[in-house]
Structure 1
């Protein structure tokens, strides 16, 4: 079996061989015995695929025999009799894209307001996180910006809401998973 050619190739070669042997009996017509080809296709192994060529124009169509699974997101197990045991899946909410230039401007206003209001070391840390988020937004780093906004925490969200920086408040909420 190690020297056996892939099944798809063998099938295609048999079809070519059949069509070549029948060239003389076509009487000028390019028709092929559809029942024979259909029989070959129906007996293909599950998971086999083939392309179709008609009238010298390639049709970009592929047919799959057997089960077909397309997974666009996270999956633990896919397919017939698939199993997944003792796994941990972390779901991450997709959030809307942020206009980083608008966010950077609002974070500058938020930082100034937070600096005026800060009275504890924890609040100073939140001010620093907003400053880091502002710098990341100015550089165009969405991921880094969100990370720093998460560190800024609930106090930053409260101040952002109070002073009316709605883009900043929304970004902080998203970073906090709210």
Structure 2
């Protein structure tokens, strides 16, 4: 048995030109997975709006792309909640193209996202894993230093079944060990 080599890729900021591929990757997960509780994939215009909202918050939206420009996945961080007391806490989202899963793309994206959010002064990152049966996402978060901190049982519904949502968390930078300017 021969191993198929993983494609070489670079993690970088998403551009407008990437958003058609981002939309396609997300559409696959909406149609076939429980990582998102959306039922209908949004059009590219909506994905552009979502990315612009993230960027306006001063947060990263990243892609993993091969040298020939093929997108393997994307990740972004958004504020966990809108109230001012939550301003140091972000939520991550990571989506990988189906044919690129299990090749280190998710770990590279999440690691870069952690680094960028730490540099931006964020102190906590929350992984909201849609579907407690999503072993890949849970393993990815654990590999990047997250620990499970809670679960919402039967909080989502998709594909005719109730879905548990796992909350995972990791400190960024100094975490809660030091104060910040109020």
Using the size of structure 2 for normalisation, the TM-score is 0.25
The structure whose Rg is larger is 1
Higher relative contact order (CA 8 A, sep 6+): 2
Using the size of structure 1 for normalisation, the TM-score is 0.25
Larger strand proportion of the pair: 2
